Amino acid sequence: MTDSIVKAFEGILKGDQEQVAEHVQLALDEGTAPREILNEGLISAMDRVGVLFETNEYYVPEMLIAARAMKAGLEILRPELMNAEVEAVGKVLIGTVQGDLHDIGKKLVAIMLEGAGFQVVDLGVDTPPEKIVEALKAETADIVALSALLTTTMMNMKGAITSVEEAGLRDQVKIIVGGAPVTEEFAREIGADGFAADASAAVKLAKTLMS
C-alpha cells in the first residue's frame, strides 16, 4: 500500500473528507491504479469501520462521518472509473430497498455500470416498491438492481419483486440483487434473475443479461 493510500484509509477512519480527497488525488497523480485506490484505500477502510462498530469502538455518528469521507474519495475516483467512450448498452434502475439507508455500495455499482456503458437511473435509498413500479412505468429499463445492507431489509427485496409482478411488469425486466448480506441462494429464493457480490460482478451480470 502506498503512503497516499494509507493516508486516504486513515482519513476515512477519522471522517476527514479533505484528507481523503487530497490523498486519493495524490495517489492518482502518482500513477496508482484507480481500482487499487478504491479497494485498498476506500473499501477496506469501510470494512474496518464496520469492525470498529461491531466492537463498540465506533457508533452511528462515526459511521456516518466515515461514509461522508469515503464519498469524497469516491467522487475524485468517479471519472477514472468511468469510460465515456462506450455506447449505451442498456438502462438500469438502481435503488437501496425500503428501510435501508446505506448508499455507498449502490452508488459504486451505479458508477461501474455507467462506466461499462449502461444508462443508470438512481432511485436513491429507502426505496418503496411503489417507487420502483412507478419508475419502471416511466422509464423503459432493461434491468432493476436492488441493494440491501441489513439482514432486516433484505427481505424487502422480495416485496419489491412481488410488486413488479403484481403490476404486470415482471416479464419486461430483469431484476438483480446484491449487498453484503445477500447471497446467490437468497436471490434464487426470492425469484431474482441474478446476484452480484460486488460492483464488478454486477457489471458482468448486467452485460450477460443484456446479451
Smallest distance, Å, CB 168 to ligand B1M?
Answer: 23
First to last CA, the chain: 38
- What element of type H or E holds 116? none
Q: Smallest distance from the beta carbon of 40 to ligand B1M, in angstroms?
A: 13
Work out how close the CB of 160 gets to ligand B1M at its nearest, in angstroms, rounded to a whole number: 12
State how far the Cα of 211 lies from the Cα of 205, in Å rounded to an integer: 10
Closer to ligand B1M by Cβ: residue 29 or 100: 100
Closer to ligand B1M by Cβ: residue 169 or 193: 193
The smaller minimum CB distance to ligand B1M, of residues 86 and 101, is found at 101
Per-position DSSP letters for 136-205, written without gaps between them: HHHS--SEEEEE--STTTTHHHHHHHHHHHHTT-GGG-EEEEESTT--HHHHHHTT-SEEESSHHHHHHH
Closest to ligand B1M by CB, 26 or 146? 146
Where on the chain is the footprint of ligand B1M (CB under 6 A)?
A: 43, 46-47, 49-50, 53-54, 60, 63-64, 67, 99-106, 108-109, 145, 147, 149-151, 176-181, 196, 198-199, 202
